Amino acid sequence: MAVGIFDSGLGGLTVLDAVQKRLPDVPFVYYADSAHAPYGVRTSDDIYDLTTRATQALFDAGCDLVILACNTASAAALRRMQESWIPDDKRVLGVFVPLIEALTERSWGDNSPPREVDVKHVALFATPATVSSRAFQRELAFRAIGVDVEAQACGGVVDAIEDGDMILAEALVNSHVDALKRKMPTPDAAILGCTHYPLMQAQFQAALGEDVKVFSQANLVAESLADYLSRRPEMIGGGAGGFLTSGDPKRVSDRATQFLRRQITFEAA
């Protein structure tokens, strides 16, 4: 067994890199559904079907615990999966929880009434599907009051990153930040609500300005996973890690190697 990490493409490698550094002795199996990326422009039913299919592939590979390192899947599919699909002996976790814990400075198990927090104006950059789901605003409202969230759907950024066109990706980031600032001129904080976006974190920060605190998910997810496994060590399992993809293994391997700057070899799922 190993811990599974799933993303619609290569963005989840930012999470994988962080969790491997935080938990070097834990084996991980990464699944990239590159044949169907990006998810951010798909319907919620389509995202659910693709996410359950990929998660089942990780279960079949011996993973009892799967991390949805994809905000779109976490927003559009996770709750439905938890309510009606996930077997009793398996666990699937999303990436919203650690982010909201950090933003509100309270643990997920804290069920006290929502209260005011230091951050008042939050910019959310995410895929169109994540924005339309309003999942981030819904979960935040359970824990904080008085927080104004302005969401910007960042069309095209994931495609540019997956294609390795970082010049286009930077131009799109600047355009989306400009659009956000027309709606919220002075955000206190910004959420990079897609696991691809940390690859462009410097560009987001530069466009937003140094006074804006930018929350990126990879390290937050790594710390949250370490805490979870300390409480549920039986979910770690053993066995070998690896990389699986529904896309062209050579092309995906080349892109992944470029992203992480170390040799990554994917196999066909």
- Regarding whether 81 and 157 lie in a shared domain, the answer is no
Say how far apart CA 186 and CA 207 lie, in whole Å.
12
- Regarding whether 12 and 60 lie in a shared domain, the answer is yes
Residue 44, pLDDT score = 93
- Regarding whether 230 and 201 lie in a shared domain, the answer is no
User: Is 70 designated active site?
Assistant: yes
Q: What is the CATH number of the domain that holds 157?
A: 3.40.50.1860
Question: Which of 201, 217, 233 is where one domain is finished?
Answer: 217
CB atoms within 10 A of CB 146: 10
Residue 57, pLDDT score = 96
- Regarding whether 101 and 199 lie in a shared domain, the answer is yes
- Regarding whether 105 and 211 lie in a shared domain, the answer is yes
- Regarding whether 152 and 235 lie in a shared domain, the answer is no
User: Which of 269, 255, 268 lies closest to 13 in space, CA to CA?
Assistant: 255
User: Is 63 designated active site?
Assistant: no
Residue 238, pLDDT score = 67
- Regarding whether 78 and 30 lie in a shared domain, the answer is yes
- Regarding whether 208 and 108 lie in a shared domain, the answer is yes
pLDDT per residue over 21-73, tens digit each? 999 999 999 999 999 988 988 999 999 999 999 999 999 999 999 999 998 99
pLDDT per residue over 103-155, tens digit each? 887 775 666 788 888 889 999 999 999 999 998 898 888 888 989 999 999 99
Most confident of 137-141, 225-229, 262-266: 262-266
- Regarding whether 170 and 82 lie in a shared domain, the answer is no
Q: Indicate which residue of 194, 220, 225, 244 is catalytic.
A: 194
- Regarding whether 28 and 39 lie in a shared domain, the answer is yes
Q: Which residue has the higher pLDDT, 238 or 83?
A: 83
- Regarding whether 222 and 205 lie in a shared domain, the answer is no
Backbone angles phi, psi at 243, to 5 degrees: -135, 125
Question: Which of 199, 217, 235 is where one domain is finished?
Answer: 217
Q: Indicate which residue of 70, 76, 100, 244 is catalytic.
A: 70
Peptide bond into 113 cis (omega under 30): no
Containing domain of residue 191, as a range? 97-217
> Domain total for the chain?
2
Residue 101, pLDDT score = 83
Residue 217, pLDDT score = 85
* DSSP annotation of 148: E
Instruction: Indicate the average pLDDT of the chain.
Output: 92
| Chain centroid, CA 48 distance in Å | 15
Question: Which of 177, 199, 217 is where one domain is finished?
Answer: 217
- Regarding whether 130 and 198 lie in a shared domain, the answer is yes
Residue 114, pLDDT score = 84
Residue 98, pLDDT score = 86
